Structure 1
Amino acid sequence: MAIAQFIRLRAFRHGVVWLLILGYHGALAWANFTGAQPQDGLRLQVLSLVVVAPAIYVHGWLLTRFMEQRRYALYAAATLGLVLTAGALLDLLSEVESIAGANAGAPNQTAASLYGHAVGNLLLFLLIATIARYVRRGIVSHFQMQQLRALQLETELSLLKAQVNQHFLFNTLNNLYGLSLAAPDQMPEALLQLAGLMRYQLDSSRQATVTVGTEAEYLANYIGLEKLRLRHNTQVEFTVDLPHPEQPLAPLLLLPLVENCFKHAIGPSGQNTIRIELTQTDVGLTLRTGNSIPPHFRAVPSGLGLPTLRARLAQYYPGQRHQLDIESSSTFYAANLQLAL
């Protein structure tokens, strides 16, 4: 069924193109064949297309069969034979129509010049058709690459979600177990945060965009659950200023930067700090994160966090619509993400 639809679509597209070409040649015939009836000139143009059109399709087959298979000698020989044969047919049609009076107003020309003119016209048609073929192929390839890139980004996002689900859920369940023993009165709030986080991940997996407000709520639940496992020497500051929470946003776009704070700022001694600030204007959204780095800390890149974030930013907020700045030292790590919504 798909093949039949493709054939019908291609036949329709080619038919429209040939009708346009026929109309163009009809207009030329009406304007240029002043020595005879315009319909005689149109007849010559139609008969010429009867030769030119098959020549173009045969040449397309030669490109596929020989040229693109790097069989250059066979392609050159076959194309030369095609041009000479089709040129002879065009020359013959021109002579027949000239005798019939369709081209009576044209100046006398030698047989060689008429044949050369026919071959030149044919080569021009083949060149135009070849250029159109590869331009169209380039455009189609460009859109296919975009689709593949989008699919790859969605796959990477799914991997990111799976990573968050597995590690985060495992750690959270252990933390909830400890919380149930040490501070059971805090369990209801923690369970609600976990339920909200899981619900958001399920909903966002079925949507191309979410709202800024729901993304901020997700981050709040994530931070609240992460704080369950922190020592007393770690201070977390999370501030939110969202005057337009209904604005659309790609899902889970802010998580990698927030997640990095909790991966890198947890040390057994000394004072650890995490600062997360999410602010919004009429046209943009800014996420600033900063965290201290414990002594002797060595980050192990997962391959899914920042690389996936940069790729998704380029896909959903290309060019000047996003800016990601990262500053890192031996004691502090800061990130600043700006989005034009």
Structure 2
Amino acid sequence: MKKSWQIFWHSFFWISVISFFMYIAHTNAKIKMVDLLVTFVGYGLINIGLFYSNYLLFIPNYLNNKRYGRYLLMLLVTVLAVGFIKYGLGRIFHEHILTGRNGKTISFISYYISACFTSVIFVLLSLLLHFTVDWFLNERIQRDLENQRLQAELALLKSQINPHFLFNSLNSIYSLAYQRAENTPEAILKLSEIMRYMLYECNDNKVDLANELQYLQNFIDLQKIRFGDNSYVNFEVDGIITNQRIVPLLLISFIENAFKHGVANDPAAPIQLKITVDDGHLDFYMHNKKHLHNRDAAGGIGLNNVKRRLKLLYPNQYHLNINDTADTYTCELSLIL
């Protein structure tokens, strides 16, 4: 908050408080306006000055620097001095301040103790404000630091996805080129479209779900090119996908894992991929048969990556269930978009 606004709100607060108590006193006790002005405005300004002396001078120069002895000494001297100033003002306006309702003069000791007690209250109020402001500032700093940490971690996780995917895709295209397959140029084009999406459209925290699903379709098409006529994959999308947003590159690791460790050339056990979108919820289902020589293969950094991203980006908004058996791998993800 800018200093001009701080001054405005502080001034507004004190004027409102003084006006409120003046109105209450005038209404209930029928006190004369001159008495109200002396009591609330004069003493109010003294107490407010004590409040800001502690808040702006003593706390920053002594308390924040851990000079506790000097801080307590300065407070004690100031409170005692302010007590004399208040008594001096009372002497000037003796009729309005030092004269009780019974007409007797209030003794110096009684008045001085009461004046010092009031001063202590304003000192405590300034301390309360200081610690409250500090608490909120520290909370905001901690939130900013946590957000920066999460952003850095997410950037690292996302940077892991691109090389991981690119490495596997280039291996697939290399195999096609080595075999001199006719669909090698088509595979390169698909990879180009995929990389364009990853480089230029995934910079936001969330992307259009329709674009993300098209990216997944391009990836699946690339894998089908790799396997040729012997690829068997059922990819199904149900529900309205327009006007929906999702964190980019979230589902690709599951699908990539299905092609890497699963069987894609068995017509009796095709890779099953289904995405259902309904009322702001996305349900993802994947099932694949495992390769005989890959049954115990771990998911690698891909699945660890996506699990960590889910925890960071969808806290308490997702449910992930993975059933990893000796022969099959099943993944079910429910996500609040």
Question: TM (normalized to structure 2)?
Answer: 0.77
Which residue of 204, 207, 212 maps to 1:210? 207
- Does 2:53 match 1:52? no
Which residue of 319, 322, 333 maps to 1:324? 319
User: Superposed, which structure 2 residues align to 1:124-203 within 5 Å?
Assistant: 124-182=121-179, 184-203=181-200
Tell me: CA distance 1:181–1:70, structure 2 relative to 1, closer, same or farther (3 Å). Answer: same
- Does 2:242 match 1:245? yes
In 2, the alpha carbon distance for the partners of 1:285 and 1:242 equals 9
Q: How far 1:219 moved relative to its partner? A: 1.9
AA partner of residue 30 (structure 1)? Y
* Residue of structure 1 in register with 2:313 after alignment: 312
Q: Is the 8 A contact 1:30 1:38 kept in 2?
A: no
User: Superposed, which structure 2 residues align to 1:1-341 within 5 Å?
Assistant: 9-33=2-26, 34=29, 36-38=31-33, 40-60=35-55, 61-93=57-89, 95-96=90-91, 98-99=93-94, 101=96, 109-182=106-179, 184-226=181-223, 236-262=233-259, 265=262, 274-291=271-288, 294-298=294-298, 300-301=300-301, 304-314=305-315, 319=316, 322-329=317-324, 331=326, 332-341=328-337
Judge which range, 160-169 or 286-295, deviates more: 286-295
Q: Would you say how many aligned residue pairs link Structure 1 and Structure 2?
A: 324
> SS of the residue aligned with 1:207?
coil
Question: TM (normalized to structure 1)?
Answer: 0.76
Compute the RMSD of aligned alpha carbons: 3.7
Q: How far 1:213 moved relative to its partner? A: 0.9
Q: Deviations over 1:127-165 (max 9, x none)?
A: 333323333333333344334333333333332332222
Q: Is the 8 A contact 1:44 1:102 kept in 2?
A: yes
In 2, the alpha carbon distance for the partners of 1:255 and 1:32 equals 72
In 2, the alpha carbon distance for the partners of 1:334 and 1:260 equals 11
In 2, the alpha carbon distance for the partners of 1:98 and 1:204 equals 76
Which runs of 5 or more residues in structure 1 are unaligned?
1-5
AA partner of residue 159 (structure 2)? A
Tell me: CA distance 1:306–1:230, structure 2 relative to 1, closer, same or farther (3 Å). Answer: farther
Q: Deviations over 1:12-65 (max 9, x none)?
A: 213322222222212312331556532542344333343333433332344344
Determine which structure has more spread, i.e. the larger CA radius of gyration.
2
> SS of the residue aligned with 1:121?
helix
AA partner of residue 216 (structure 1)? L
Tell me: CA distance 1:15–1:199, structure 2 relative to 1, closer, same or farther (3 Å). Answer: same
Q: How far 1:310 moved relative to its partner? A: 0.9
AA partner of residue 25 (structure 1)? I
Tell me: CA distance 1:157–1:233, structure 2 relative to 1, closer, same or farther (3 Å). Answer: farther
